Amino acid sequence: MRYIDESLADGETIIQRGKWPGVFWFGAWAALIVLGLIVVGVFIFAVAAIKMKTTDFAVTNRRVILKRGWLNRHTKELAVESVEGVVLDQSIIARLFGYGRVVVTGTGDAVIAFPPMADPVDFRRAIEAARRDCGGEVRLASSDRAAIERAAEANENEPAAERGAEGEREGDEDRPHRKRHRSFIGLRARR
């Protein structure tokens, strides 16, 4: 059983499973046949076959998953709710042979760069469909959800007398208003 199949949570289903493009398998077999007479061809084929057989990537209804490695396992997982962007990279040759690279960026520094895959457009569509189907619901721990609800309740219960007609607090008119200068991250031309 593959890693992704073993790591599925209750109710989690695989929407799209990534696969290596046939041209990469062709290259591995060509190296074996052409250079097979020399030990180099066997080595190239073995490395390529192990790399392709031990790399697993998929999109589920909850996560985007990349697993690499045979003896050492390296996984990258990103919740569908935290996916911010999907980049598809295909050269002319890659488009002719039907493969490409997908890079998924998430909140913070989360980046998953997938290896070349067959049908990368379908993979990207699966990620977008999973994002759409999750409804943008953010799953929080019960303590975090309770804290947010308490803060919202405190804002609702704030006496209306403390706010002016336009939602400003009383006493704001006494404070001097500073003129804001538009600048990029605090950098402005010095005069």
Instruction: Give how far Cα 173 sits from Cα of 6, 168, 177, 181, Å.
Output: 62, 9, 8, 21
Q: Cβ-count burial of 3 within 10 angstroms (0-12 exposed, 13-18 middle, 19+ buried)?
A: middle
Q: Cβ-count burial of 23 within 10 angstroms (0-12 exposed, 13-18 middle, 19+ buried)?
A: middle
Q: Specify the pLDDT at position 15.
A: 82
Dihedral sign, Cα of residue 42, residue 43, residue 46, residue 51: negative
Whole-model pTM: value is 0.56
Paired strand residues for 66? 57, 76
pLDDT tens for 55-96 read: 888 999 989 999 998 888 898 989 998 888 899 999 999 899
Higher local confidence (pLDDT), 66 or 17:
66
> How many helices and strands (H and E) does the chain possess?
6, 8
**Residue 116 pLDDT more than 80?**
yes
Rounded CA-CA distance 171/146 in Å is 32
